[in-house]
Amino acid sequence: MLKPQDVLVLLKLTTLWPNEWTYASLSESVGLSLSETHAAIQRATKARLFSEVARTAVQPELGLFLIYGADHVYFAERGAPTSRGMQTGFAAPGLDGANGYPENDLLVWPDPDGTDQGRVVEPLYRSAPVAAKRDPALYILLAAVDELRVGRARERDRAEHIIREALC
């Protein structure tokens, strides 16, 4: 069974060239131990979301899994409206969907160093915010996944479009 950190690893792999990574570099970039990263790849392989031959995520399958399953398997809820954190969902940098929304409706990952206010949504995995800070492309994908997990119809449609463009 896939764990949330497996999806984090797979999303990170979609931002890399197949021969560009080692287990050590991948584990460091997503904030997992070497053994956790290796186990994530093994589970993803069994789920047919990682190709050992190509050394990368099977992007169309990953995209469909996220679009149709993320909100059921990795469900989350919008938390308190006045929390400090790092923007995610439609408010994340690169998605630019925050226009027209009240500030207290924006989504944030809890982050004591965060400068943004909004409703807390727990990240897909605890190290996702750190990994997102290091990789803008990964940040966009994680933010889109959060919209699939907690968004309303309009945000979910936008997130589906982003995931399809990037992965399918």
Q: What does the pLDDT look like over 68-93, one tens digit per residue? A: 999 999 999 888 777 889 999 988 98
Query: 86-101: string of b/e by CB count within 10 Å (b at 16+)?
Result: bbbbbbbeebebbeee
Domain ranges of the chain: 4-73, 83-167
Q: What does the pLDDT look like over 26-70, one tens digit per residue? A: 999 999 999 999 999 999 999 999 999 999 999 999 999 999 999
